[in-house]
Structure 1
């Protein structure tokens, strides 16, 4: 993930990793405000950090890796 700037919206390209982690989920490229609202409603995910540490997403990622 060397090119973090390529994975976040333009407004976040010059932010630190800590600032991006604490940014709203829609700071990620391809995640709309509507998508972010759905994540908040379903899983109480408000930030990039919340998304990256959500137990259900981590479980799914582990299962997918094991299935490879």
Structure 2
């Protein structure tokens, strides 16, 4: 799997945290995701943490579709 520059995907406050802490963090720890976005994700899908977002079936489905398209 490709490496990820955490400074590019996380807000500054989270970039130096251990991975387990980041996964347990609210989705607003992701760069570009506001507290309000996090509230809406929780309301719509029950997503509270970064790990919840990663495990959301709709995210996995979209990733699978994108991978299929990239493989053609």
Q: Could you state the TM-score of these two structures normalised by the residue count of structure 1?
A: 0.91
Show structure 1 runs of 4+ deviating over 3 A: none
Larger radius of gyration: 2
Match of 1:25 in 2: 27
Using structure 2 for the length normalisation, give the TM-score. Answer: 0.86
| Structure 2 portions without partners, runs of 5+ | none
- Describe the SS at the equivalent of 2:42: helix
Gaps of 5+ in 1: none
How many residue pairs are counted as aligned between the two chains?
A: 68
Deviation at 1:13, TM superposition (A): 1.6
CA RMSD of aligned residues (A): 1.1
